[in-house]
Amino acid sequence: MAIRLGDTAPDFTADTTEGTITFHEWKRDSWAVLFSHPADYTPVCTTELGQVAKSKADFDARGVKVIGLSVDSVEDHQGWSADIADTQGIAPNFPMIADPDRTVAELYDMIHPNADNTLTVRSVFVVAPDNTVKLTLTYPASTGRNFDEILRVIDSLQLTANHKVATPANWTSGDNVIIVPALSDEEANEKFPNGWDEQRPYLRVVAQPS
C-alpha cells in the first residue's frame, strides 16, 4: 500500500552492509532518510551513492541518519562499494539494505510494476523522530536525484516543526519565511514582536526564526 505523509513509517528488520538492522530501533528518535535505487552496478545509482556519501556530514549536522536500499545482496553491495570508491572518490559510509526478496520494497511500495516489474524506483522517505513520514519523493530510474534538495527540505521540515512558519518557493535556510495562516495577528505579535511584512493578510513574511 502506498505510504502517505503523516503515516507511521513501517518497521522492518533487514540485512545491510552494516549488519542486521531493525529500522525503528536503528533510527531511534532521529530523523532518517530511507532511499531506494534500482540496482547495484548501474551508472546513475553509482553517482547517487557517491553523492550521498559526500553529503553524509551535512546529514549528520542535521541529526539525520541515512540508509539506502536495493533488491540486491549484501555481497553485491560490498563489491559495488569498491567501484563507487574508485569512480566517485568515496565509498558509501552509511548502511545499504539488501532486499533480494523485496520485503522492504513491497512494504514501502517501491516497485512500480508499470515502470519496472522487478527493480525499485528511486524512492525517498524522510522520517521524523516520532517515525511519521514527512516527505515522499519518487524519481524514475533514468534521473539521478538532487540530494541538496533533500537537505533543503529537511531544513524546512526541522524549522517548521519548531516554529509556526512555512517556507516559500525556492527557500533556503536563512531566507525569510511565511507566518502560517492558522496564527492570528494577535498570536503572531507574541511570536514575532519585531513585526512582519504584510503583503496580503494571508501572506505575512518574516525573518527566519533562529
Residues of the shown chain interacting with ligand BEZ in the complex, contacts defined by CB under 6 A: 38-39, 42-45, 119, 141-142
**What radius of gyration do the chain's Cα atoms show?**
19
User: Whole-angstrom distance between the N-terminal and C-terminal Cα of the chain?
Assistant: 38
- For the four alpha carbons of 196, 199, 204 and 209, in that order, the dihedral sign comes to negative
Beta carbon nearer to ligand BEZ, 72 or 108: 72
As measured in angstroms, the least distance from the Cβ of 122 to ligand BEZ is: 9
Only one residue has cell 530511507, namely 34
Active-site positions read 45
Beta carbon nearer to ligand BEZ, 44 or 91: 44
Question: Do 120 and 69 form a contact (C-beta atoms < 8 A)?
Answer: yes
Is 138 in a helix, a strand, or coil? strand
Beta carbon nearer to ligand BEZ, 10 or 144: 144
As measured in angstroms, the least distance from the Cβ of 83 to ligand BEZ is: 12
As measured in angstroms, the least distance from the Cβ of 193 to ligand BEZ is: 51
Is 83 in a helix, a strand, or coil? helix
